[in-house]
Chains A and B, each alone.
Chain A
Amino acid sequence: MNDDAQNHARGLLRAATGNPAAIFRDGQWNAISALVSECSRLLLVRKTGWGKSIVYFVATALLRKAGLGPTMIISPLLALMRNQLAAAAGLGLRAVTINSTNKDDWQALYDRIDRNEIDLLLVSPERLANRMFLERAGTELFARLGMFVVDEAHCISDWGHDFRPHYRKIASFVRNLPNNVPVLATTATANTAVIEDVAQQLAGDIIVNRGPLGRESLKLGVVSNLSYAERLAWLAHVIPTIPGSGIVYTLTKGDANLVTAWLQSQGIEAQSHHGDVAIPDREAREDALLRDEIKVLVATSTLGMGFDKPNLAFVIHFQSTQSVVHYYQQVGRAGRRLETAIGVMLTGSEDDDIIDYFVRKALPPNELIDNILGRIETSDSGLSVNALSGAINASQGEIEKAIDFLELEEPSPVIKIGSAYSRSAIAYTYPIERARALAARRRVERAIVKDYAVLQTCLMQFLSRELGDIDAAPCGRCSMCTGSEVTDSAGFDTRAAQAEDFISRREIVLPQRKQWPEGGLPTYGYGSNTKIAKVLRAEGGRALALWRRGVIGRRVREEKYTHGHFSDQTVLEAAERIRSWDPQPAPRWVCGMVSDRYPALVPSFAQRLADELGLPFVNALRKTRETDEQKARENSSFRAQNLDGSIEIIAFAGIEEPGFLIDDTYDSGWTIAVVAARLRQAGAGPIFPFTLAKAADKE
């Protein structure tokens, strides 16, 4: 490219950075030049903060100056888009985003696209699959697309740590772009295998341009072999000693809630961030962290790519991660513009189980896929997800995931017409090899995390090398290099008892079921997908503990499976919990769930609990037929139908009063919903459910 263009580009850089002496970083100008004058396909692997966005902003400005069409940027998160728009405006680029939060502006934005008044359009990968968007904005924009940019390109690889199914469509789009449209893909976190996979999926001729990944400000540490309560104590002790604000990552939503509540109880300003938090709330909490209005955000992996707080002081993992790529990506958010920042990984005994669950759920199982395809194949006009979920023993979520998976196969064995899926004319067999390879790969990745947790050499060097930066040298800052802890945790264990107590006392609310499932319960006359009448609904209940979490959570499990009997101590703790709950109107009787498998377990417990509470125990329930174990039933429809016509209510004096319904564990909530409805129909007053444990929500 000629000097004029380079001078112009340098001017843009200086305007963007507000620094009149700014010059391009090593590699930036080469990348811009390759895109603009050679129409190249480029994969940039550079650490966050290197300035990848400068490359596509300046390249866009030059292409537009040459009379070419606008640039489209695919970016996974709205938070990132907001930052990007502001930065693009700094270069005089007319940058806009079309997403679910600015629907009111769409018409005006479409018109501006039609009039060629937009230089840059930022959208999510899902938007690129949206039919309405493609018909309205897509036609004009794609009729003269000047450049295509894929941010966070590691999402393309299903080997990657956060594969997003829609990114497969992006890869296919890029592969099909003719060579007269330049393509830029960027990522900060991908190991060599992922990069190779991404490069191959985007087309073999892509040029990979990578730089060093070590983060100079991060002080890494690992703390192993602490119990759940000890780790809570550690957090509460250490977090206030670190100046600034940060993130604590947990593996599940349930853990995030518990850690948040604990930190709050310890006077630390903490908020949670996960899949059950409404998106506007999540954004508000991100903003609160950005402005240092809270000390810590306790998040699952939903707080992911694109959250950019240059002065984030610490990232602490409450549980160890699935892979070092996950870890690098998450810990790498700390200290982008700080002299020093802290990154500590705590490890827990529950981590393996949770991660194993994730690995098993990585691809939908073969049987489910075959089942779905078989049903679609024999249907005349296709089947909707709802129709499938009424017919197949899998959760609606699993069915949706399986359908997503099938739709994104290349070529796809299903075609969506309206809301119904039909079989396409494609021979298809479940990719057993791919599933096996993926699971094997995930296990290897997990094993490397375990190596990291017991490492005796430089932690940052290990991470960098695992990510393909083979020249990385020891960092000189981590706990291994310095031989001392990166945080001041001395004396944290004095709070361990308090943390244990907190776990034991924590109020755990049982959600209410409000709608009967697909298929309904025909014997009882509860219609498919109909509302559960308010007068039949169980009240919001409580659980004593989270399953397997804390001393009580572990004890409940052991008593159920090892002793087949709940101890008097558990009865006392349950009674204490119910007294502090004090539901209104106050229940006047106690009944316990009946079970084929453990006939005495719950009734014996419920009876002793009733004695402790000074209430009558009533034998109100009888099984009229054997049912499957609820655990073996995978989805709502099947769990609810398992109970259809299986429970008989035995009338007793005083049934019209409010009562407690006691069970050992709460998982899907169907047992309680169905029994409560039967009791109410038999004339009972409000039903207050209480269980010993509630299953922890997986993310």
Chain B
Amino acid sequence: MSTTLESPRLSDDASAILLLCATLAQRRRSGEPPLSVGDYSDLMESLRARSLRPGSLLRTDRSTLTDIVASLPPKSQARLSTDRIEQLLERGGQLALALSKWSSMGLWILTRADAAYPSRYKQKLGRSAPPIIFGIGPQAFLEMGGLAVVGSRDLEPSSEEYTTQVGEWAASAGIQIVSGAARGVDAIAMTSCSANGGSALGVVAESLIKLSTRRDFRDHIIAQRMTLVSSYDPEAGFSPAAAMGRNRWVYALADCAIVVASSEGRGGTWAGAVEALKKRDVRVFVRTGNPDRPGNEALLQHGALPAPTDLSEMFRERATPSNAAKTDRAASDVFAAATPIIVAFLQNAATQKDVAEALDLTPSQAKLWLMRLCESGALRKSGPLYRSVVAGESRPSATEFQMRLLDGS
């Protein structure tokens, strides 16, 4: 066929989740509001108890739906009437319009029912994990963890320079930058990392579509060095509430975090850092010794660690709260599954690009794993070529590798 479909159909599960939770056609004057995360989670639990999936709602008659609603916890029954759910599910036309528009702009969508939904969100956010993620750029970045960089929009020169250096360091160390894609620290860290060949993941609190056409972001996205995601309407404008909600997601997607510049006791950076420190699911470092930023020093009182001069030490330390340990294990599980496949493939020497192509990895993911395997001694690198150190069976075809990667994951 001459026409390749860039946007295959959504699953029934994903359709149902979007119908229930997405803001569609905002200008509509009447009609039921979409479900909050909490209400959505309640509804899902009620479905699960009946061995139903979200997609079952597309073919459920009214009486079954009434039964489902009746089994909800009393406090959510007040909000989740059968009529409201029916009305939301009837929005198929609006959903199709929105999806057509979004997919023509290159956006992808992940819902909580999708296998590719980020494991970090599931583990760290649980019931409050956003039902929908909109994104543009490589999806695999969601699983790559990395360093969250947070800080103010308005920066003094020293913070600006420091942020640039953090981005450059991350690129050279093969560590991803996770940030909020806002003006100031966010944008500087992300673009300096991407511009130096690293990968950057931005969790945006304003229009995903508009931000993605910004020239400095756009070129990195096209070059597969940057991903922007959002759980807000991708066409909506900025709101302070969205910016606050977004902070939690930035911390959730990273392995550890660094606060470059914070006000004391107020502002999004401060609030986000304090919340993360309270939850203890990532280690939070803070740049110290900047007299312009007393807020930074104050964060130390809340449990933040002073950022080391050698930033790579942040990733070596293992004095971790329990949640972080869990995350690390999840990430290493994927790595552990991939290791024998990569090692077997590299019985004949190959470049990073060969590996990425044969195993269907993004270049940055391949780079990351290859570097780790070199460090662990499983691989040896000479010039651009990687080769496995242990001899074994002969090299299977690339397709077989892909199959095994799927089976093993």
Contacts and interface: CB of A to CB of B under 8 A. Distances in A.
Interface of A: 39, 69, 72, 134-135, 138-145, 148, 157-159, 169, 172-181, 196-197, 200-201, 203-204, 380, 409-412, 415, 422-427, 433-434, 437-438, 441
A437 B96 contact: no
A143 B26 CA distance: 11
Given A175-B9, A410-B103, A437-B2, A415 B209 contact: yes
A444 to B, nearest CB: 13
B137 interface: yes
Contacts of B316: none
Interface string B4-27: 011111101001100100000101
A143 B100 contact: no
Contacts of B28: 139-140, 143
Contacts of A144: 87, 90-91, 93
Interface in B97-115: 97, 99-100, 103-107
Given A144-B87, A425-B221, A426-B106, 14 more contacts: A138-B25, A143-B91, A143-B93, A145-B93, A157-B3, A175-B5, A175-B7, A177-B93, A178-B92, A179-B59, A200-B3, A411-B103, A423-B213, A427-B222
B3 A425 contact: no
Given A175-B9, A424-B218, A143 B31 contact: yes
Contacts of A72: 93
Instruction: Name the residue in A174, A175, A425 with the highest tally of chain B Cβ atoms < 10 Å from its Cβ.
Output: A425
Given A140-B28, A410-B6, A425-B136, A145 B92 contact: yes
B212 interface: yes
B220 to A, nearest CB: 9
A423 B91 CA distance: 31
B89 interface: yes
A169 B100 contact: yes
Given A177-B93, A178-B19, A135 B27 contact: yes
Nearest to B19: A178
B320 interface: no
A178 B2 contact: no
Nearest to A140: B28
B217 to A, nearest CB: 7
B97 A173 contact: yes
B127 to A, nearest CB: 25
A441 B3 CA distance: 13
A157 B3 CA distance: 9
A509 B296 CA distance: 81
Contacts of B58: 178-180
Contact of A434 (B3, B10, B59): B3
B1 interface: yes
A437 B4 CA distance: 13
B147 to A, nearest CB: 23
B218 A176 contact: no
B64 interface: no
Contact of A196 (B1, B91, B136, B218): B1
A575 B9 CA distance: 68
Contacts of B59: 39, 179-180
Contacts of A424: 105-106, 212-213, 218
B94 A143 contact: yes
A164 to B, nearest CB: 15
Contacts of A425: 106, 136-137, 212-213, 217-218, 221-222
Nearest to B98: A176
Task: Identify the 3 closest CB pairs spanning chains A and B, nearest first.
Answer: A142-B93, A145-B93, A411-B106
Nearest to B210: A417
Contacts of A204: 9
A461 B26 CA distance: 54
Q: How large, as a class, is the contact surface on chain B?
A: 35 or more
Nearest to B32: A143
A196 B3 CA distance: 11
Interface of B: 1-3, 5-10, 12, 15-16, 19, 25, 27-28, 31, 58-59, 87, 89-97, 99-100, 103-107, 136-137, 209, 212-213, 215, 217-218, 221-224
A141 B93 CA distance: 8
B1 A143 contact: no
B362 to A, nearest CB: 13
Nearest to B208: A425
Contacts of B221: 425
A142 B137 CA distance: 30
Contacts of B96: 142, 173-174, 176-178, 181
Nearest to B228: A425
A81 B213 CA distance: 39
Nearest to A68: B90
A672 to B, nearest CB: 43
A176 B10 contact: yes
Nearest to A174: B96
B78 to A, nearest CB: 23
Contacts of B106: 411-412, 424-426
16 contacts: A39-B59, A139-B28, A141-B93, A145-B92, A175-B100, A176-B97, A176-B99, A179-B59, A196-B1, A380-B215, A422-B213, A424-B212, A425-B212, A425-B218, A426-B222, A434-B2
B9 A158 contact: no
Contacts of B97: 134, 138, 142, 173, 176
Nearest to B220: A425
B3 A158 contact: yes
A657 B306 CA distance: 93
A127 to B, nearest CB: 13
Contacts of A441: 2
Given A142-B97, A422-B213, A179 B12 contact: yes
Nearest to A423: B218
A180 B62 CA distance: 13
Contact of A142 (B6, B25, B222): B25
A143 B10 CA distance: 19
Contacts of B107: 411
Contacts of B95: 176-178
Contacts of B94: 138-139, 142-143
A381 to B, nearest CB: 10
Given A143-B94, A412-B105, A178 B3 contact: no
Contacts of A437: 2
Given A134-B97, A411-B103, A425-B137, A178 B218 contact: no
Instruction: Name the residue in A158, A411, A412, A434 with the highest tally of chain B Cβ atoms < 10 Å from its Cβ.
Output: A411
Contact of A410 (B5, B87, B93, B217): B5
Contact of A139 (B25, B87, B215, B217): B25
A411 B105 contact: yes
Given A140-B28, A178-B58, A172 B92 contact: no
Contacts of B27: 135, 139
Contacts of A411: 6-7, 103-107
A410 B104 contact: yes
A196 B27 CA distance: 38
A415 B92 contact: no
Contacts of A159: 2
Contacts of A422: 213
A623 to B, nearest CB: 45
Contacts of A173: 96-97, 100
Contacts of A158: 2-3
A400 B224 CA distance: 30
Contacts of A203: 9
A425 to B, nearest CB: 4
A70 to B, nearest CB: 10
A415 B213 contact: yes
A24 to B, nearest CB: 26
Nearest to A200: B1
B92 A180 contact: yes
